Structure 1
């Protein structure tokens, strides 16, 4: 497990990170979200050893992460860092060889990975000839080619169309299932919500929320329900303990004061007509994000 404990970083009088603590667990995808300037990239660079912290520790498996450990890390920066004149396969093979693989092994690994990422027909194209989305896929291949134990990805879905997002997401899920610990940042909250197992929200250099996706949803949930029924839902407005948020015809979104009130509403709805849906409504990641950084 990758653990950060008390990470602090300042530039002069400006504190960029203030006592950052969180874990990235093997076999799980951890989403790392926050606004511009929140401290995500600085945190990632400290994990990688590119920047040093003023205080705090980065540990892997309970021991301080050193240079040898970081050889088993994979990193994709937000800024693309590929050589534009090199061919796609050539580029990924070159980076694999820097990790100690023979040319034959590097070529086998790079070819398989690029095919997995949907670039099998672009192996001999120069990087500069690729679309921005395909350059992003090649950048991800570079981060993955040595089968890293820890994977740090800064905005991996930037510039990808929906189909490419699905391809990359499936590749990352397979790496997590194989035991990799994966931390990725993204401004695309819908993608993070769909993909992550765990979630970290950072703002102003401090962690505002951290936990599993389901834990955070439960923690920030209200007693809000949705009702779909054959009868008009206007009667809900007269029910004690019920606050109607929105309704149209037989569909209503409403808050209740207790779980018992919700059960009473359900029984009354059934008595009035067929009920096709009655379910609690959990907050989206976007709603949780707005709540915790307010």
Structure 2
């Protein structure tokens, strides 16, 4: 039935054209923004998950930056600790040379004094942003002997809050354990005094029967160069282990951050090839819809022919 009051064909054509135009607008926005889910209205569940993942990703990015700085702080301490070990080995060599009676003890001591000053400089300069791991009071933390760096966030399934993991680096007191003891040394004036600084005061005895010379350490060895070398090697090893852990954690956090970025993209990013094909189809549907509406609007006019 044809009616000049109600044009059902035009109503249907108009509704179809409106839906096509709506989908065309969504597709055009998807292509221009590159996102399939832009707001909660586009898909509230997916949008909420993606936003949570975005906050975690941004947090991991900050954590990675902090780990990068921490790695530099610890590596600086390790490099200076290794340098101190090398200096102490040279000091031991010079003391060993001075323990021979044909050596000039005073000249060797001049070089040793310079090395001791160099060790002090290495300890004092071993800092980044004020954090010095070769001094027990140099971390600025609470306690001042610990340097704490955030290592990761831990989110349990379904939880709305996160826990965290931290890496704690204990500072090594090179000032007290090494430099202060070196500074307390008395300048040796004899080969025996130089020998005593290597591993402690030494008494020599000659066996009357065999003529064999035996040496006995008779004084406390905490201040000997061998004890200082042992402390420095152990301290450098501890710091080196922390450096390796921090660098490994930085790499792991970077991978997690990248995986989160990929996951977010999988949830909200647009498939541009698919969107492009959909756009062309919708543009065709729009043209057909316009033509269909035009045809439907012409139908009532045909009624006039019945009255001619």
Greater RCO (CA < 8 Å, at least 6 residues apart): 2
Q: Which has the higher strand share?
A: 1
Which TM-score band (shorter chain)? under 0.3
The TM-score normalised by the length of structure 1 is: 0.19
Q: TM-score, normalised by structure 2?
A: 0.19
Higher helix share: 2
